[in-house]
Amino acid sequence: PNVPRWQEPELQRALERALRVREGARRLLPACSRPEQALETTKTLVLCDARVVAAGGELQRRQEARLRGARRPSDAGPGAERVPCRGTVCISGMEGPGAGRDFELKVELYSAGLPGGGAQGSTPKKLATRLSTSLGRSSGRRARAAMEGGPGSPPGTGGTGALPLPPPGVPCPQFQLLAHAALSLAQVHDGFRTHDLVIAADEQSPCWVPLYGRMCCRLAARPSCMDTPAATGTLRLQAPGAEGPSGPPLFCVLRGPGLLCYGSAGEA
């Protein structure tokens, strides 16, 4: 894909920022004295690992795309591969520029148990109530691919094992996969829809939380023709009843459902 070069410094800064935050979380984790602190720090590590792998993989894909684009036509064989553009994880949601027909969005729900009794004994019940009321809110959703291997490795396929959380030797909560779902372009809709969750854990798991087995979300798609000009050219207006065009020619751009008219091509 033809990626604007100005986007790469921004992606590089995001990668460096995630590395700094991850390093700070690693240093903070051994100093956590309360289970709640260790849980929040571990969540930060998981998110930073996902951002590092996603940003590093995207930088590598863009470099490979430029190398393929720099080759001569005679260098490419008849079966030259085409790598689809992957989505980028954002704070407000997930965007997938240039998604093809095989687009698939994987949503995975993880849980981590806190040791101890007393007030924490009702934690699963409280978490179940919170999940049932917040899974449909965009601010409460966390969608990420399971990380397997180092940077550049393909995303996981939804295994049931706990996520590896470095550094080794430091006790920290283990996140366990509870449920997952896969959405495709067939689920695109104007409003919110309910989707079934595939339960990946059982009641014997220490991180088990009672689930309703469904999630509510909205998957939206926007055709590329809405943002890129479909056609450009010169247009002459003809007044009703006139025998020929009247007025100066206009330079017009057809973009999405609208026709944009300018006095000259330089104004477009």
Q: 91 with 32: CB under 8 angstroms? A: no
Q: How far apart are CA 18 and CA 24, in angstroms?
A: 10
What pLDDT was estimated at residue 70? 61
What pLDDT was estimated at residue 206? 73
Q: Is the pTM of the predicted complex or chain greater than 0.75?
A: no
Other Cβ atoms closer than 10 A to 181: 19
Q: 194 with 215: CB under 8 angstroms? A: yes
pLDDT tens by residue, 12-38: 888 888 888 888 888 888 888 888 888
Q: Where are the domains of the chain?
A: 7-74+84-115+122-217, 224-267
Instruction: Find out whether the peptide bond into 249 is cis, omega within 30 degrees of 0.
Output: no
The mean-pLDDT minimum among 8-17, 37-46, 74-83, 194-203 falls in 74-83
Q: How far apart are CA 5 and CA 172, in angstroms?
A: 40
